[in-house]
Amino acid sequence: MNNEQAGNRFTPGRSFNTIDRWRFPAGRVSSCLWPIWGLIALFLCGFGPPTMVDRDVAPRQRFTVGQLRQIQQAQTPPPEISAVSVLVYDLDSGRELMTKAAHLPVSPASLAKLMTALLVLEQNRLEEQVTIQRQDLVGEAEMGLREGEVLRVDELLWGLLIPSGNDAAMALARHHSGGVEAFVGHMNLRAGDLGMHRTQFHNPNGFDADGQVSSAQDLLVIVRRLWEYPLFRQIVGTPAATVGSHELRTTNRLLGAYPGVNGVKTGTTFQSGQSLIAGLEQNGHQLFAVVLGSVDRYHDMRLVLQAVQGDYSWVSLRLPERPTALDRLFDAEGNRWFLRTDGLIVDSNSSATGPLFEALLAAWERQELQVFRRVQIPSAGKWDAGMQVGVLEWRLGDTVIATQRLLVQW
């Protein structure tokens, strides 16, 4: 009997997966496989428009082409700006709202003075006296110091940050470390400690120097640290001041000219072009915007801030007024307790607390905002009003953006 006569019969000694063992007449193949091919085609085509996923679990929502275009436009600076690097950061949530080449190392110009200020503030010798020496008077932008003049460290900080005084930078560096070269070494050590891997300093004032670079991401790290110091916030938010006999005027022309701007600093050299880090406060919330390597920093910054304000708005982080399953709990004896929040939100990016009741979200993100209750029931003992029994987690998609303490009440 040949193979064709054997049909479907299994022949001892032959491999079980031999193809011709399951041979069908041509007509039967077509009639049997058409339904199978139809099912395969149906599953390959799907039952709706394609959805972008980056995990095994299906997403909770699908974006339309228009929404995807909105997302891309919101996260990308306006095309007409000239800045090489752009970064907009929400301090409350720790989110980057807009970026363009934020990791690119560029010459920082006078923004290097931010690291000078940080080292001086961290040393905390603000009341000490500094005698100005001839070597401090390096020219260009200055606060107008004179050789032999004596000022306190905190007074020199005003001259460093308001008019971007190179003379103040040199005097502070020398006083801090005993010499400018030693101070630059401390600048680079601190940059390494802070994870600023795209930063290298060669002087404390920001003069162009081969290899002196930083990035928008790294400079933001310094600003976030500096913002913890009330004195720094006061200085950079002041348009003009008098220190001794010196009349100081800020180089940041957005102060008092753009609503909500409360700092931070400018930088300009031939090599770096124009740069600006701007702080923006709205309804008690703090944003930072960075533009580096610009032809017109104020024009660019206005466009960036207007774009962010047009695409994002503040959304309340409050539970509904009506009762929900999140506001009650039963103890081990079956007694029902109602729950309340303590009015404070814990920033997910730090241990700081504050009355943060809003999150800065784009329109397409609002449907992704959800609140989850994470219960931490006391192991034993009597329940008392005011006892913490868990937290509310405010999540944007899969990311926790804030945590609110959950307390027992009668």
Residue in the structure block whose two tokens are 């149906």: 42
| Cα distance between residue 269 and residue 259, in whole Å | 27
| Cα distance between residue 289 and residue 152, in whole Å | 31
37, 29 contact by CB (below 8 A): no
| Cα distance between residue 86 and residue 297, in whole Å | 11
CB atoms within 10 A of CB 301: 27
**Furthest-apart CA atoms within the chain: distance in Å:** 116
Closest CA to 225 of 194, 250, 249: 194
140, 121 contact by CB (below 8 A): no
| Cα distance between residue 267 and residue 109, in whole Å | 5
170, 143 contact by CB (below 8 A): no
The answer to whether 164 is a known catalytic residue is yes
- Which is the catalytic residue, given 164, 177, 214, 272? 164
| Cα distance between residue 254 and residue 266, in whole Å | 10
The answer to whether 113 is a known catalytic residue is yes
- Which is the catalytic residue, given 113, 177, 272, 294? 113
Phi first, then psi, for residue 386 (nearest 5°) are 95, -10
86, 291 contact by CB (below 8 A): yes
The answer to whether 110 is a known catalytic residue is yes
Strand partners, 90: 95, 287
Instruction: Give the end-to-end CA distance of the chain in Å, rounded to a whole number.
Output: 90
- Which is the catalytic residue, given 110, 177, 214, 294? 110
Task: Write out the catalytic residue numbers.
Answer: 110, 113, 164
